A and B are shown apart, each in its own frame.
Chain A
Amino acid sequence: MVLRHHIEGYENFFKFMKNFKPNESVYVLYSGKKLPNGKSWCPDCVEAEPFIEEGFKTASESAHLVEVEVGDRPFWKDLNCPFRTNSTTKLRVLPTLAKWNTQKRLEGDQCQKIDLIEMLLTDEDD
């Protein structure tokens, strides 16, 4: 089972990502902040959840999955949201599932396709 981490907010996220060494397999799931009911405000993120759970079952034991709650709806909808403008995260869509330190990412309903998640986990080219 993959090693899971949970982070909230932009500054916390970047501070946390410094913990990883460049050769580690780190995957990041960007989704909307959770509401009091425990579900994200972003319906697509909620819908993707079970597929991501399923897809990561086969992930290597040494792989990390960092689940980051980017923020509430107004924070995300602001086109100057730092997760959008930062040249590393450059988010356009929630949810986004990305392999850290690569250009590989699945956006929106691509996160609901098990075979694409598998490809993200197994693809060796960078």
Chain B
Amino acid sequence: MKSRESKEKKSWYFNCCKKPQTMDSDLSDQENYTKSLEKLVTEQENIEADQKFMYDLLVIGGGSGGLAAAKEAVNLGAKVAVLDFVTPSPRGTTWGLGGTCVNVGCIPKKLMHQAALLGEAIHESAAYGWQVPDPNIIKNDWQALTTAVQNHIKSVNWVTRVELRTKKIEYFNALGYFKDQHTICGKMKNGEEKVFTAKNILIAVGGRPRYPDIPGALEYGISSDDIFSLEKAPGKTLVIGAGYIGLECAGFLNSLGYDATVMVRSIVLRGFDQQMANTIAQEMERRGVHFIYQAKPSKIEKQADGRLLVHWVDKERQTHQDIFDTVLFAIGRKPLTEELKPENIGLQLIPETAKIDAIDEQTNVPNVYAVGDVLHKKPELTPVAIHAGRLLARRLFGNSTEQMDYVNVATTVFSPLEYGCVGLSEEAAIAIHGEDKIEIYHAYYKPTEFFIPQKDVSNCYIKVIAFRNGDQRVLGMHFIGPNAGEVIQGFAAAIKCNLTFPKLKDTVGIHPTVAEEFTRISVTKRSGLDPKPQSCCS
């Protein structure tokens, strides 16, 4: 069962409000004839029916995916409205239009990571001849950093508002939920409700951080929703959770001069190549981030001095405790689908995760679509949501048939030493194709610019996974080192073009770069040869 939509691939104008699809498709010829007559009439009626909806498309959620779909839809002539509302975090943080990425995700994270890299560069610069007074007395001013970051975010919020207004997309600061499959109620800040009707509805509400059910978590904990606008410097911080958000936060906090500890329940960077994940953790540990493995927090208490006493349990069920200034939960995110009152339209959710199992972004309710972090088993990444939203709008309003390809999407973890990857992990490649069918190439390398400041190169490591036989198509590429995102993006395009290992080897590198290491890779894991570089360069 492929697309639910393909049956109705005619002009979008005619298939709003279509009769509920029933299971009894075994109709007699006579019935078919009557049906098709009825259909003609219905299509005529639908033209008028369209007038009764306020919008062609109503988007719930003004984040990356929702806004991309809205903009594309108006460009194609549709009448569009966007509802966006940020429920305050448990500690009271809110933000403006634009969604997670802009306000409490990719953007502030990348800026704080950049702040961390600059701090590192100040220390290195002395080795390159810069007369830095005393690098050890150089401190980061948390207030100055958060103000700069927040100002950037606010200017993006505003530019987004201006863009929507200019494009004639109606924006409402309201929390939307379903009344019926064409009607959305929007609850405004003042409690008033406004009713919207639309032919098509796009769910793009994204998700928010989860909190564990332990005493003190909601009262004293914070999350990625709060860290980027925290009024006071975080101080000694415990990050609970070792997904990419946890590692990135612990990474930049440590680099900015705060004592940072990561509490890992089971494994680091679940879903990522585990050899690469452990290398990243190792590198962070080398830089001073503490790791507590196989531990679960059990209680957070506020002491008289305002600091937080955290209790946790290890795998032997031993309890431990330590004092922190800040406890940041990064244990996962939950989609905001329950808030939509899905029961009112019979919208099906995956019971365990409350996510939406859409087929080509279409939910089980034919005129209701979904993009972004609410989608079941799809990468929770801004560019994925944007691309899916844009393609969906083109299919709805531009007669396009192009579908979103969720495979081979590259991503990067902005840990202090970054990790970029595209395609399969080693584990996934072995599980899918079998160890005999694949070849794993790997290499350690030494970035040229690391020599003078004597930076540690022990975790600069790359890996290429390819078919062993046939065309030796490349299945996955993994890179740990500086500028990993910039390195991996181009290779992602190559993989999209069916890059083969011989083609990779036939590519001439750019010297001296870190990306060229992929063109030099030759040692296979199977050979057992040392993947460490023999000499300094070339």
Contacts and interface: CB of A to CB of B under 8 A. Distances in A.
Interface of A: 102-106, 110, 113, 115-116, 119, 123, 125-126
Interface stretch (B150-158, B371-379, B525-533): B150-158
A116 B158 CA distance: 11
B18 interface: no
Chain B interface size band reads 10 to 19
Contacts of A116: 162, 165-166
Contacts of B173: 125
B96 interface: yes
Contacts of A105: 158
Given A113-B166, A116-B162, A123-B158, 15 more contacts: A102-B154, A102-B158, A103-B151, A103-B155, A103-B157, A103-B158, A104-B154, A105-B158, A110-B162, A116-B165, A116-B166, A119-B161, A125-B97, A125-B157, A125-B173
Contacts of B155: 103
B326 to A, nearest CB: 25
A115 B97 CA distance: 18
Contacts of A113: 166
B157 A119 contact: no
A74 to B, nearest CB: 29
Contacts of B151: 103
A115 B158 contact: no
A125 B86 CA distance: 12
B162 A119 contact: yes
Contact of A106 (B154, B157, B162): B162
Interface of B: 96-97, 151, 154-155, 157-158, 161-162, 165-166, 173
A45 B173 CA distance: 32
6 contacts: A104-B154, A105-B158, A115-B165, A116-B162, A123-B158, A125-B173
7 closest A-B pairs (Cβ-Cβ)?
A103-B155, A103-B154, A104-B158, A125-B96, A103-B158, A103-B151, A119-B165
Nearest to B86: A125
B211 to A, nearest CB: 26
Contacts, number: 28
Nearest to B152: A103
B150 to A, nearest CB: 9
A115 B169 CA distance: 13
A7 B173 CA distance: 36
Nearest to A105: B158
A106 B166 CA distance: 12
A21 to B, nearest CB: 19
A26 to B, nearest CB: 16
B166 A123 contact: no
Nearest to B153: A103
Nearest to A118: B165
A52 B154 CA distance: 23
Contacts of A106: 162
Most buried by B among A104, A105, A106: A104
Contacts of B96: 125
Nearest to A123: B161
A95 to B, nearest CB: 15
B158 to A, nearest CB: 5
Contacts of A119: 161-162, 165
A110 B166 CA distance: 9
A104 B165 CA distance: 14
A105 B166 CA distance: 14
A115 B166 CA distance: 9
B145 to A, nearest CB: 14
Nearest to A113: B166
A123 B162 CA distance: 11
A98 to B, nearest CB: 10
Contacts of B157: 103, 125
A106 B157 CA distance: 13
A114 B404 CA distance: 39
A126 B218 CA distance: 26
B86 to A, nearest CB: 10
A110 B167 CA distance: 12
A126 B154 contact: yes
A103 B173 CA distance: 19
A106 B162 CA distance: 8
Nearest to A119: B165
Contacts of A104: 154, 158
